[in-house]
Amino acid sequence: MPSILISGAGQGIGAAAAKLFYQQGYKVGIYDINAVQTQKLAQQLGENAKAGLLDVANIEHWQKALTEFTQWAGELNVLVNNAGILYSGAFEHTDIASHHRTIDINVKGVINGCYASLPYLQKAAFARVINLSSASAIYGQADLATYSASKFAVRGLTESLDIEWQKYGIRVLDVMPLFVQTAMVKDMDAESIRKMGVHLTPDDVAEQILSLATLKAHAFTPTHRAVGFKTKVLFNLSKISPQFVNRLSNLWIAQKQSALEK
């Protein structure tokens, strides 16, 4: 029975992925900083689900989680670095602690997960890492500056390790959704969410994670998976549009209507 460990699995995309993979016959590790949510979900799913506490910014948490999970599951086949946070609003109006926390979780958390999991992935019959990037990693987003920067970091790390770890037979891929209907986007202070809308569900993203985990990857398999029609359009246009066009289009997305009418 294949196994998967998902960080930030107590709610949202992580919980949706845990349910989907469980239905597909995986042993599922549900790890989150909220231990109550993980235990509740694991109990709902059944005996092939294991809950655990994980602060992704803490490498010792990762080491403990991976040790206990692999002892229970037998091996680690798929790692999903899903845990993340988002602060929105003007860069200068967001306190510096929140900027630092974004980097600690969204960037250091993914680095920690990849670093700590490699010895286990190398031993597995097949292994894959799937990171949660974002449409915000296509072009830097106003009022989401540090979040966007963190997802660019995830994108870069994914590309780098997908090449580095080819020698181990491990593909490192990511999904890049636009705004998803989760608690993270409630009360967001960014014009982009009003103009682009929130059309994706956690189930939509979970299905793409499952697709990446189960596909027979080859040399021409893309490292990035844009999720949703709008994300695919933005991602593909960014490849062919001149830089000034990308800037102007993102300037339009970011500008409030009142500013445009002046």
> Cα–Cα distance between 49 and 164 in angstroms, integer?
31
Q: Which helix (H) or strand (E) element contains residue 183? A: none
Angle between helices 109-123 and 59-73 (to 10 degrees): 30
Cα separation, 37 vs 98, whole angstroms = 23
| Sheet of 224-227, strand order | 49-53, 27-32, 3-7, 78-81, 128-132, 171-177, 224-227
d(CA 76, CA 102): 27
Q: Check 22, 120, 139, 147 and give the catalytic one.
A: 147
**Alpha helix positions (H), 50-190:** 59-73, 96-103, 109-123, 145-164
Q: Does 31 qualify as catalytic in the annotation?
A: no
The burial of 64, by beta-carbon neighbours within 10 Å (0-12 exposed, 13-18 middle, 19 or more buried), is given as middle
Element (H, E) at 80: strand 78-81
Does the active-site annotation cover 147? yes
Q: Which of 19, 27, 50, 151 is catalytic?
A: 151
Catalytic residues: 147, 151
